[in-house]
């Protein structure tokens, strides 16, 4: 149920329920007063009088309609008196203000009271003596030839205490007010539970979030609008929690980056300082030695420059500041171009290169050719750096699945210990033994991971110590 329907239903019920209760109580009031004061007998008498009226003038075939002169017949008058007597009633006939006949003695005041109630089928009550009667007057002016009108009055005893309209109205009003108040209280409590309880829970959740507790779950409950609000706030809480977690992770990464940069820059800078001091102190006292010192300083400066370039590239990739220029590329031709480019350098380092394609036909996928080539070159160069065997081999594989293209660079080098395999794609990660022996920024594989993920692909490593390492790249087929 939505909030609008709930409010409409609550407002409708707060009126309908009191009305139903009032009607039931009114019927009960009538029934009880009827039992106590004999109202049932009064109703029966009234029904008998109504039937008598219908028999006399109710239709064209009725007695006084067919033969109005019978009103003056003593035997007919006695019949009327006897029939009214059966219900403790009285009958009186007036011609003008003169009494034609009557079942009781009437004074002029009583006659005036009767005349005040005359009219076609007009019912009223009058008090004659100590008795109150319900009056059924019949105007027979049209039924006689006399110039003065003739009226017939049927009187049935009536007890005013049997049904007091004023008391009945007051009773109904009191019942309605009490029922209305009770219905409002009940409906407010019943229907507000679907609104107040969820709002209280939201208030508690907001308080927890204010205190920094982002693990307090916001449960969707209540009406449709409130459930949607709870759902949106829960999503906001999760996003805020993830944002805080990401921020803390970035902060940890920033600290690690600063530590790693300091560590990796310290070695070449220290070397540069040492060789510069050697030149200043005159240790390099020959042209050959000076040239050697200067060349070493240059190489160390180039190493620092490379590290800074890689760091800037990684930062831009991490912040998505470098757009990818994707082009539909024949993947086999692309890898062959890279293979031919790097093969001579590998041969100079005593490493044999192999290229194996398991593609069933032409395979084209969207690539940023320049950046993906950098990924392949970085992986192969890493294999060269960590090659510890004289018969070194690096094999470049390409194969395909239904939804992706798999590129694998496999070597037979030193391998990576199991605990470190998942860490090699982290920025600045290098094993402690490699830090002083292997040149580089430590960002090569981290940059490779950023580029592959920018292509909506995946990259992972499989390695065995002493046997070699495989770096696997999975790229979607577009």
Tell me which fold the domain 39-158 belongs to.
Beta-Lactamase (3.30.450)
* Average pLDDT, integer, range 376-380: 89
pLDDT of 433 reads 44
Three-state DSSP class for residue 1: coil
pLDDT (0 to 100) of residue 367: 92
Model confidence at 432: pLDDT above 50: no
Which string of b and e fits 299-332 if b means at least 16 CB within 10 Å?
ebeebbeebeebbebbeebeeeebebebeebebb
pLDDT value at residue 436: 42
CATH architecture of 217-322: Orthogonal Bundle (1.10)
Token pair 């005359």: residue = 118
Which H or E element spans position 116?
Answer: none
- Phi and psi at residue 197, to the nearest 5°: -60, -50
Give domain limits for the chain: 39-158, 217-322, 327-476
CB 438 within 8 A of CB 431: no
* pLDDT band of 430, cuts 50, 70, 90: low
Query: Which pLDDT band holds residue 237 (cuts at 50, 70, 90)?
Result: confident
pLDDT tens digits, 22-67: 999 988 877 776 666 555 556 666 677 777 777 776 666 677 777 7
According to CATH, the topology of domain 327-476 is Heat Shock Protein 90 (3.30.565)
Position with higher pLDDT, 19 vs 438: 19
Residue with tokens 């009550």: 125
């Amino acid at each position: 149920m939505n909030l609008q329907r709930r409010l409409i239903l609550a407002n409708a019920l707060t009126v309908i329920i009191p009305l139903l209760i009032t009607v039931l109580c009114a019927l009960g009031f009538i029934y009880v007063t009827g039992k106590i004061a004999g109202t049932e007998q009064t109703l029966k008498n009234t029904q008998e009088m109504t039937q008598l009226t219908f028999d006399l003038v109710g239709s064209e075939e009725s007695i006084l309609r067919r033969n109005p002169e019978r009103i003056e017949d003593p035997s007919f008058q006695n019949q009327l008196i006897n029939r009214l007597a059966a219900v403790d009633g009285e009958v009186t006939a007036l011609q003008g203000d003169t009494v034609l006949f009557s079942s009781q003695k009437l004074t002029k005041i009583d006659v005036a009271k009767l005349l005040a109630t005359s009219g076609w089928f007009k019912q009223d009550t009058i008090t004659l003596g100590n008795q109150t009667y319900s009056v059924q007057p019949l105007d027979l002016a049209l039924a006689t030839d006399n110039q003065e009108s003739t009226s017939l009055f049927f009187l049935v005893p009536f007890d005013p205490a049997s049904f007091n309209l004023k008391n009945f109205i007051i009773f109904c009003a009191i019942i309605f007010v009490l029922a209305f108040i009770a219905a409002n209280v009940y409906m407010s409590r019943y229907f507000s539970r679907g609104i107040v309880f969820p709002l209280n829970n939201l208030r508690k959740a907001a308080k927890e979030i204010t205190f920094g507790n982002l693990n307090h779950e916001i449960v969707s409950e209540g009406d449709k609008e409130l459930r949607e609000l709870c759902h949106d706030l829960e999503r906001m809480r999760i996003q805020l929690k993830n944002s805080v977690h990401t921020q803390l992770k970035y902060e940890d990464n920033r600290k690690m980056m600063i530590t790693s940069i300091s560590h990796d820059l310290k070695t070449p800078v220290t070397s540069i300082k040492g060789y510069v001091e050697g030149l200043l102190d005159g240790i390099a006292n020959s042209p050959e030695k000076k040239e050697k010192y200067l060349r070493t300083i240059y190489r160390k400066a180039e190493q620092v420059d490379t590290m800074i370039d890689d760091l800037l590239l990684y930062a831009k990739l991490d912040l998505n500041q470098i757009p990818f220029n994707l082009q539909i590329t024949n993947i086999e031709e692309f890898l062959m171009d890279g293979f031919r480019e790097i093969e001579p350098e590998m041969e100079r380092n005593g490493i044999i290169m192999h290229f194996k394609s398991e593609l069933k036909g032409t395979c084209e996928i969207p690539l940023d050719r320049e950046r993906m080539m950098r990924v392949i070159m970085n992986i192969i160069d890493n294999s060269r750096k960590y090659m510890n065997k004289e018969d070194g081999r690096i094999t470049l594989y390409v194969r395909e699945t239904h939804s992706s293209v798999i590129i694998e660079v496999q070597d037979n080098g030193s391998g990576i210990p199991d605990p470190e395999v998942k860490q090699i794609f982290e920025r600045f990660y290098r094993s402690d033994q490699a830090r002083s022996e292997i040149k580089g920024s430590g960002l090569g594989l981290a940059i490779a991971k950023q580029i592959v993920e920018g292509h909506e692909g995946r990259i992972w490593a499989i390695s065995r110590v002493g046997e070699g390492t495989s770096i696997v790249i999975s790229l979607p087929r577009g």
